[in-house]
Amino acid sequence: MDMDIGDRDTVFPESIDLRKIPAHIAIIMDGNGRWAAERGLPRHEGHRQGVETVRETVRNCNALGVEVLTLFAFSTENWQRPDWEVNYLMSLPEKYFESELPELVRKNVRVLMIGDRKKLPRRVLKVIDDGAAATNSNNGMILNFALNYGSRAEILHAVNRLVSEAAAGKQVSRVTEKKLSSYLYTGNLPDPDLLIRTSGEQRISNFLLWQLAYSELYFTGVYWPDFDKAELLKAVSVYQLRKRRFGKV
């Protein structure tokens, strides 16, 4: 067996119950710009440091035994940022995969992407597709990047697919929750158990509106570049203290 598989020998504090790890963690990685501004640095330095946090978070989630990690990297609204910043953000997937792909392959991580591919530069799609292809047969943690992702657009896309199928006579019965869920970009992925948002903002910003229906929400004032292993473990231990009721008593 591959000795490197999954960092499973990593030691975690006793406050973490390894039998109650959230299967799907989704993260709104926010606060890169403010992290940089507070240090008198240009915003892109915050994004650069944010990529380091992505590397570490992927390793730590994999070691914890998380099954799906969804990272909100670029929203459908983020195109409204200055061109230089959009371009910088679009250069990051390449930077990340260049250094991390061999390790992801080795650690049995499978790469996926959710979002609207149409507006994304070909270069970005290529690195994501190459990453997905190289890890296609892996069956460990799913690393799911939300890129040009907007939840309302996602729901509309699903509804329009259903409408066209109905118009073509392919779909006559009523639409069920299961059917609509399966037409979202998240397809057959489980809903997130835990949503983390860094930087102190307490909003969803058009992320996974349908899928978050019963997720536990965790907001921290820590900026994304400072969200280290200790902060991740804090979020997981807070999650483990929550009582999920799903409407029951």
Pick 54 or 63: Cβ nearer ligand IPE: 54
Binding mask 81-110 for ligand IPE (x = CB under 6 A): --------x---------------------
Select from 22-30, 114-122, 124-132, 176-184 the region that touches Mg ion (CB under 5 A). Answer: 22-30
Q: Which of 4, 9, 17, 30 is catalytic?
A: 30
Contact 28, 205 (CB under 8 A): yes
Among 30, 100, 193, 216, binds Mg ion (CB under 5 A): 30
Residue 35 found at the interface with Mg ion (CB under 5 A): no
- Shortest separation between residue 47's beta carbon and ligand IPE, angstroms: 6
User: Is 78 among the catalytic positions?
Assistant: yes
Residue 192 near which of Mg ion, ligand IPE, none (CB within 5-8 Å, type-dependent): none
Per CB under 5 A, does 75 bind Mg ion?
A: no
Question: Closest separation between CB of residue 28 and Mg ion, Å?
Answer: 9
Q: Is residue 181 close enough to count as binding ligand IPE by CB under 6 A?
A: no
Q: Which residues bind ligand IPE (CB under 6 A)?
A: 28-34, 72-75, 78, 89, 199, 201, 203, 205, 224
